[in-house]
Amino acid sequence: MNCPSLLNCPGLQARDNEKKLQRALAHNMKAIVDCNSFYCSCERLFLPHLDKKPVVVLSNNDGCIISRSDEAKSIGVEMAGPYFKARPLIEKHGVATFSSNYNLYGDLSWRVMETLRIMLGKENVEVYSVDEAFLNLDAFAEKDIEEVAINIRETVEQWTGIKVSVGVAPTKVLSKVANHIAKKNKIATSCVVVLDTKEKISKALQDTPIGEVWGIGRQYAQKLVEMNAIFTAYDLTKKTEEWAYKNLGGVVGTRLIKELKGESANEMKEELTIKKMIATTRMFGNPVKDIGDIKEAIATYTSRAAEKLRRQLSAANTISVFVVPKEQSHNTYFRHGPTISSHVTLPIATSATNELIKPAVQLVDKLYEQGRIYKKAGVMLSGIVPDTTIQGNLFMRENKNSNRFLMSMLDNVNFAMRDDMIKFAASGTTRDWKMRQELRSPRYTTRWEELFKVG
């Protein structure tokens, strides 16, 4: 063998990779549970006559399609496409259409994740997104893994009514590959795919286009195809870790290659309970020109962010505000302009809504330009610290712990009565700028007055 280095020798690398894979298969199995067309599934749960019927859910302001059932896909409804363009096709085929109902989706997501935590223990569940969770299956014998995966799928559906797909493999990236196959071939796989042998993993990687690999976006996938003739996930496993470090974003790329080869490089993470940054952003229901409307929106978003801040018993040192204008080009079509933002550092960290609204509204005066039309705005709180460790300012009067008692009473009333029963005047009363949700279904699980009625 004329290898410049034993570490780079293809023969030794192949044998080493095979040993690592065998060790992973014997001792380390991960799973990912992914809800099928989650938002559509939530809508179908309380409208069972829509089962097997085409369903789509729209984004904020009913702008774009953000979730679609398999039946909607089959008739040609495009993901992330503008609603107004898809509307003729939707109406032609009688597609059930809903505005985003985040109260419902958030509650049902919690029920799915809580079911997994009950089954496997909190320490073995990593919530990855609103509709996905990684599971640690180390406690189960290899021969029982497939039965465990099937039991997880059946239990989640029975307890919550939400159908899920389960992918199992030695690493997180490979479990995503398994899950992709399970969702793509729901009938053949019964929504469960377990990659527990070298042969199954190899076949799965060969059948997975490079653009479907977790961590590889569409544009980067096209680049890999054009520059390196990498068409599938299997092709990518033929590259070295050194190549991945150079061409796939450093350490992130190295971890991706390791995971595809069966070596776990992304361990389970504990749930982040204390956020380091809190943001509230929204599209306006209608284009906004008046500075008063923008100030009302910013005051409302600040109130919402402050509630989240107090919920985790924290205070913020810095508040940032941004607005997004709507620009007109020469061909009369509109597009989003650049985000315009500014921030201010507070003299003392606080979680009191009134103490956050004042500087936030003042920032609007700096950002607003007369004559421009605005489509979106938002507020971000950062420099977050525990509210019990707020350091005082020698040159200011005592803050009395950010009016904690008053804010607590305000939160309790609003939580019990909903819909901002008590709000600051700066938030406005009519709120004509609120985002559109013209097709929203009832909030069946979070509002007494909207509970589902059985007849």
Give which of 161, 187, 189 is closest to 177, Cα–Cα.
189
- Which pair of structure tokens corresponds to residue 100? 């985003």
**pLDDT value, residue 292:** 92
In the chain (455 residues long), the average pLDDT of successive 10-residue segments reads: 38 52 64 97 95 93 91 94 93 95 94 96 93 94 93 97 97 96 94 95 94 87 86 92 87 91 83 82 86 93 93 93 76 58 92 93 94 92 86 60 75 79 84 79 89 82
Q: Is residue 254 part of a domain?
A: no
Backbone angles phi, psi at 127, to 5 degrees: -75, 115
The model scores a pTM over 0.85? no
Q: Is residue 100 part of a domain?
A: no
Residue 397 lies in domain:
278-427
Q: Is residue 24 part of a domain?
A: no
How many residues are given for the chain? 455
Q: Cα 169 vs. chain centroid, distance in angstroms?
A: 23
Cα–Cα dist 420/362, whole Å: 23
Number of domains in the chain: 1
Q: Is residue 322 part of a domain?
A: yes
Q: Is residue 43 part of a domain?
A: no
Q: Is residue 145 part of a domain?
A: no
**pLDDT value, residue 2:** 40
Q: Is residue 216 part of a domain?
A: no
**pLDDT value, residue 395:** 63
What's 365's domain CATH number? 3.30.1490.100
**pLDDT value, residue 416:** 76
**pLDDT value, residue 13:** 52
In sequence order, which residues have a C-beta less than 8 Å from that of residue 361 and are 6 or more positions away?
Answer: 295, 298, 299, 426
- Expressed in percent and rounded to 5, the helix, strand and coil fractions of the chain are 45, 20, 30
Q: Is residue 183 part of a domain?
A: no
